[in-house]
Amino acid sequence: MLNIKKLFSPLGLIKDLKRKDHTPSFGALDIFKYIGPGLLVTVGFIDPGNWAANIGVGSGYGYTLLWIVTLSTIMLIVLQHNVAHLGIATGLCLSEAATIYIHPKVSKAILSFAVMASVATSLAEILGGAIALNMLFQIPIKIGAILITIFVIIMLLTNSYRKIEKWIIGFVSIIGLSFLYELYLVDVDWVKVGVSWVVPSFPKGSMLLLMSVLGAVVMPHNLFLHSEVIQSRQWNLKDEKVIKKQLKYEFADTLFSMIIGWAINSAMIILAAATFFKNSIKVDELQQAQKLLAPLLGSKATVVFGIALLFAGVASSITSGMAGGSIVSGMYGEPYDVKDNHSRIGIIISLLGALILIFFVGSPFKGLILSQVFLSVQLPFTIAIQIYLTSSKKVMGKYANGPYLITVLSVIAAIVTFLNIKLLVDFLTT
């Protein structure tokens, strides 16, 4: 029998669900039972780091860089579905599978780098929440960062996964509605928006922001997180029909959730372009963005902006902490379980490590941007182990990637690597 106590611990059911042959019934509305894991991932790429990157892109270059959000989201859909496929087919998260099937020296190096990426992610999330508290209540940034960190740790250590999932869905809804309200207030050139969504351009000096958007949308910690949390919906691994149903519903959840993320990220850039770029105002920090919105859109818009940023910071801090716990526990061949010391250590490293770094960050806005660039530099390594594992018949059996999918994933890896090299060249030549 399932341990009832585990109903009240984050992801506590996963260990039991991996072992039990419980077969679900699938009805016409069962897809709604599967909506959730994808939205947890979505929070990761509508986080404060995205806000900084998107507002910088929109205020500096107008609508012209919207295409990078479209490209990043397409890549994200493929990558997230593929890594969720790993979790469903094997019952292992990406970190566990890397520990088991990749040479220890290689896996430890890459996973340690991934832990660092989780810290960089948490830095952006906590910092964004602290900035929001400063906007709304004039709380100093460092005090706000401490408050956000304490709240998130309490949430992770005391709430069940299902409760957290519901909170996250609520946060995403509030953020989305906030930007719909903001867009309602501005005059948008939708023809230019439509063209910019699909036509690539590389304006001079835009590479750092392009990379920060890529790092903010396609985030390495989300690949680890998705392969773990997808197992909260998992039942009988021995029943092929059940696995196929899970893969079908998981893809619907991932596609739906990623499209929501694409829309919200696009809305950020469109809002910045229609307000700041249109008035030749370059935004260097999120507080500046809120203050500048007041004369352009009215005081209510600035309050909505601050509230949405606060929810984004809290929600994404929760998911980055979970990802850190998943990576560290996976390094010991264990699933995420907040009652386990390895998972707790991962959460603490991710959140407290980020909090310590915040005390050394000179410019909060620059800290947000650079954290996203760090994620984009780490991303090729995570994608590489993901492709290797999901393409291996030893790992995946009959569910291993076919030649077509391997090609698509390799192209994505090549694009990410190319953009990273271009960023390095820009740094060396400017």
* Structural domains in the chain plus CATH codes: 27-429 (1.20.1740.10)
Instruction: Estimate the crossing angle of helix 341-358 against helix 141-158, to 10 degrees.
Output: 170
CA distance 369 to 213: 9
Q: How many helices (H) and strands (E) does the chain have?
A: 19, 0
pLDDT per residue as tens, the chain (430 positions): 434 334 333 344 334 334 344 444 444 445 545 555 667 677 767 777 777 778 888 888 999 999 989 988 898 899 988 998 898 888 888 999 999 999 999 999 999 989 988 898 898 889 889 988 988 898 998 999 999 999 999 888 886 666 777 777 777 788 888 888 888 888 888 999 999 999 988 888 777 777 767 766 777 888 888 888 777 654 445 566 666 677 777 788 888 888 888 998 899 899 889 888 888 887 766 767 776 676 666 677 778 888 888 888 888 888 889 899 999 999 998 888 888 899 999 999 999 999 998 888 777 766 766 676 677 678 788 889 999 999 999 999 888 999 999 999 999 888 877 776 666 566 556 6
Cβ–Cβ < 8 Å for 369, 375? no
Tell me the CA distances in angstroms from 266 to 21, 70, 333, 380, one per residue in order. 42, 8, 38, 24
pLDDT at 196: 92
Quick: pLDDT tens for 380-424.
888 899 999 999 999 998 889 999 999 999 998 888 777 766 665
Structural tokens at position 236: 């009988």
Cβ–Cβ < 8 Å for 117, 125? no
Amino acid at 77: I
CA distance 130 to 153: 15
Structural tokens at position 207: 């590479």
CA distance 55 to 91: 39
CA distance 231 to 89: 10
Residue whose C-alpha is closest to residue 203's, from 65, 69, 70, 66: 65
Structural tokens at position 361: 């960050």
